[in-house]
Amino acid sequence: MFMPVTTVTVFHTVTDERGQPIAGVPVRIRLARHRFVRTQQLEILQWGVTTQTDANGYWSVPLVPNSLTDDPQSFYIVEEGQEGTPVYHVHYIRVPEGVTSVWLGDIVLHDLSGEPSLAPVFANVVQSLRAQGQAFLKGHVILKAGTNVTLVQDNTEKSIEIRSIHTHPPSDITPQGHGSGLDADTVDSVHAENLRIATIELTVGDGVNAITTGFKGAIYVPFSGQITEWAILSMDANPPTSGSIEIDILKSTYADYPTMSSMVGTGTKPNIANSNKGQGSPTGWATTAVNAGECIGFNVTSVSSLKRITIVLKVVKS
């Protein structure tokens, strides 16, 4: 009596780097003997089958377990996608006996230099790296780290970011136009002052009800510097509501908070005057200095019509 050879359904899902399924990806499976794997000189026994992913990026194919073929040391080559395109991957697998179906990721062979061995693929292992906008890297990937280079892993986005902080020794920083009368010094074509700019900002109002006078909040500042500019924007709608507002800027040490004193004094408070925006410099302020560890507060001294605004203080860090 003829007994059919038992098959095992091998299945997989093809997704992009964001985990979204890709439909219509061609899948080719062929059987090969384990010979000259390192140089990819393989003796092809059969091309096997060709299929493609469905709308959910899923494909499945029944395959004969390797131990039941005429060469128990044979293995399958599974190609997903077209070589030379961003969607392309090759798997070397052994199909086990005693099961009805198996996810391809559980039977990928990783040791291609010697006898193929069964090795699981773990979900928390990064399997590919690529630069933004580029195809996935192929072959061996070596991450070189050195001075001011760090690798930052994001488990939510399933990504690794390579951060490089480029610094210059003092001898590398030369004023732009040195000797020509120009006074703009740059580092890598960026004005040195721009490397030290920070902002302190607060949004006031819910965008529905009119803003009222009074203390609206404070922000802890972890750096030192000088306030050099302020700006206020109305932002409750498009176009935003026009009106008027004056805001006193307060500060205190962390220990003294919430007792705060005015930085503006008798100077000109940041304001909007019958408009939907205002901008200026700290004219006549009692002080513009901000010290690391201080708290900056915002107190609305007068207001009309406005429903939601954002105030931003520009600080040049020292």
Residue linked to tokens 């940041």 = 270
- Report pLDDT digits (tens) over 270-288: 999 999 999 999 999 999 9
CA-nearest of 193, 216, 198 to 312 is 198
Give, in degrees to the nearest 5, the angle at Cα 109 between 103 and 110. Answer: 125
- Are residues 284 and 250 in contact, defined by beta-carbon separation less than 8 angstroms? no
- Provide mean pLDDT across the span 84-108: 81
Per domain, the residue ranges of the chain are 8-107, 195-317
% of the chain exceeding 90 in pLDDT: 36
* The dihedral sign for the CA sequence 9, 110, 77, 64: negative
pLDDT tens per residue, range 230-271: 999 999 988 999 999 999 999 999 999 999 999 999 999 999
Q: Cβ neighbours of residue 30 under 8 Å, at least 6 residues apart?
A: 44, 45, 46, 47, 48, 76, 77
Q: Is the model's pTM score more than 0.85?
A: no
- Are 128 and 121 a contacting pair, CB within 8 Å? no
Residue with tokens 């203080």: 313
CATH architecture of 195-317: Sandwich (2.60)
The Cα 271–Cα 278 span in angstroms is 6
Rg of the chain in Å (alpha carbons): 32
Name the residue among 101, 79, 129 with its Cα closest to residue 7.
101
User: In this structure, what DSSP letter does residue 175 have?
Assistant: B
pLDDT at position 93 is 85
Q: CA-CA distance, 130 to 140, in Å (whole number)?
A: 12
Average pLDDT, the chain: 77
Residues 100/9, Cβ–Cβ less than 8 Å: yes
190 pairs with which residues across the strands? 187
Distances (CA, A) of 15 to 18, 24, 26: 7, 11, 13
Nearest to 222 by CA among 294, 152, 275, 318: 294
DSSP 194-215: GGGEEEEEEEE--SSSPP-SEE
* 105-to-59, 77, 139, 198 alpha-carbon distances in Å: 13, 13, 18, 47
Task: Give the Å distances, CA to CA, from 232 to 200, 203, 280.
Answer: 12, 10, 9
Find the mean pLDDT for residues 175-200: 57
- What is the pLDDT, as a whole number, of residue 129? 59
pLDDT higher at 230 or 198: 230
CATH superfamily of 8-107: Carboxypeptidase-like, regulatory domain (2.60.40.1120)
Strands 101-103 and 271-275: unpaired
pLDDT, average across residues 118-146: 53
User: If you average pLDDT over residues 3-23, what whole number do you get?
Assistant: 80
Strand partners, 225: 290, 317
Residue 27, number of CB atoms within 10 A of its CB:
19
Residue 64, CB-side half-sphere exposure with 13 Å CA sphere: 18
